[in-house]
Chains A and B, each alone.
Chain A
Amino acid sequence: MSISSNLGDKIAETRDFVVNSASLKEVRSFSREVFERIEINQDLKDELVLAIAEAAQNIVKHAYKGIENTEDKMEIKISLSKDNELEIGFFDKGKPVDDAKVRHRNIDDIKPGGLGTFFIQQIMDAVVFREGEKPWINHLILTKKL
C-alpha cells in the first residue's frame, strides 16, 4: 500500500512492508524512489537510504526477534516539510522497544554487530522512539534538516 499526501508537506509518502529480511530490498527501492524527487546530492541520498534500511532491519532483528514467518507489516512514512525538514517514521507491531536499551556498541570494540544504530545516529540529526498509537506498538522517528 502506498499513500501520497501533499497536505502541508512537499513530500509525504507511506508504504508498508512485510516484516522480514527479504523486504529490505523493497524498503531501499521505496526510499530511492522518494529521494529521486528531492534535490540533494547522491552521497546524502545513499546515506539516507542506509539509515532507513538499518532502522527497518532493526525492526526485523529486534522488535520481531524470535518471531519468524510473520505476516505483520511495518509502515514507513517519508515526509519533507516546506522548510526542508526530513522526517522518516517507522511503525511496527512487534515487541515494545525499550528506548534505554537501544545503544550502539562501543565503536572501538571491534566485533560483528551493533553498527546499524551507530550508522543511523551518524547520518540523522535526531532519533526518537515513541509508543505507537493503535494499532502500532512502536513508532520510531528519524529527522534531518536538509
Chain B
Amino acid sequence: MTYKVTEDGNISTIFLDGEIDMDVTEKAKEIIMPLIEAKKEVHINLKEVQYMDSSGISVLIESHQKATEMGTKVILKEISKSVLKVIMMAKLEQILNLD
C-alpha cells in the first residue's frame, strides 16, 4: 500500500493505493487517525485500492467512529468496485459516509 495526502483548508484527502490487508492496517491507521484527532474532515480516496479485506474494513469503521467522537467526519471517495463490494458485504453502505 502507498499513499498521498493533500490538504485543502480543513479537508485532508488521503489517496490510498494498492491492497489493504492485515499487514498494512497499522500503517493505514497511523496515516488516518492523527488527521481525525486534529479534527480535520478526512476524505479517503479509494479509487486505486484493488483489494480490501476485513482488516481494512475495520480501519474504515474505526475511523468513522473516531471522527464521530471528535465531531468531524470521514468520507469515502471514488470507491473502487472491489472495495464497494466488500463494504456492501459487511452491510456498511448505510453506516459509512460514501460519496
Contacts and interface: CB of A to CB of B under 8 A. Distances in A.
Interface of A: 21-22, 24-25, 28, 43, 46, 49-50, 53-54, 57, 60-61, 107-108, 110-113, 115-116, 118-119, 122
A110 B95 CA distance: 8
B15 interface: no
Contacts of B23: 21-22, 24-25
Closest 5 CB pairs of A and B: A112-B58, A115-B54, A21-B23, A116-B54, A21-B22
B24 to A, nearest CB: 9
B54 A57 contact: yes
Interface of B: 19, 21-23, 51, 53-55, 57-59, 61-62, 65, 82, 85-86, 89-92, 95
B21 A113 contact: no
Nearest to B55: A57
B22 A50 contact: no
11 contacts: A21-B21, A28-B19, A28-B21, A28-B51, A54-B53, A107-B91, A110-B92, A112-B58, A119-B53, A119-B89, A122-B89
A44 to B, nearest CB: 11
A54 B51 CA distance: 12
A49 to B, nearest CB: 8
Contacts of B54: 54, 57, 113, 115-116, 118-119
A108 B62 CA distance: 15
A22 B61 CA distance: 23
Contacts of A119: 53-54, 86, 89-90
A110 B96 CA distance: 10
Given A46-B82, A46-B85, A112-B59, A57 B51 contact: no
Contacts of A24: 21-23, 53
A53 B53 contact: yes
A76 to B, nearest CB: 16
Contacts of A53: 21, 53
A22 B22 CA distance: 8
Given A21-B22, A53-B21, A113-B58, A118 B90 contact: yes
